[in-house]
Amino acid sequence: MKYIPLFLYSFRWNIETSYYEQKTFWSLCSYMVRSCKGIEMLVNLINICYCAMKILPYQDEQFSEYRTKSVQEFRFELSQGIRSQIFLTNFVRNIETHIKSNVIIKALKQLIRQQVY
């Protein structure tokens, strides 16, 4: 009978670690919602994002190496790839409007294609 509180706290511990993960790794610490509906919507959004990050390595072979890694590691690597794609795309767009150098534009477009595949 004296171990029941510890058993019940194991459920609470899962909530605490999930909350810590959301604030730390998913950068949701600055979101503030006050209504019950807002809180429910935020929790649903968090759960959808988490599930998508867990399912994606099994759905797309390109991400299969992340099947055994944590969601945080996968999210970090995915965000790094997105940032580099955005940087290269903006770089090419600025070159097209300012320099108009066909050789540089072709080389950068080829680099973008290589990174996508």
Same domain, 5 and 48: no
Same domain, 99 and 61: no
Per-residue pLDDT reduced to its tens digit, 36-45: 888 788 788 8
H helical segments located in 2-117: 4-24, 36-59, 71-98, 102-116
pLDDT at 50: 80
Residue, of 35 and 59, whose pLDDT is higher: 59
Q: What is the pTM of this model?
A: 0.47
pLDDT at 93: 73
Average pLDDT over residues 65-70: 87
Same domain, 113 and 80: yes
Name the token pair of 102: 């066909």
Q: Which domain holds residue 2?
A: 1-30
pLDDT at residue 68 is higher than 80 = yes
Same domain, 113 and 84: yes
Same domain, 62 and 21: no
Same domain, 15 and 36: no
Q: Which amino acid is at 53?
A: M
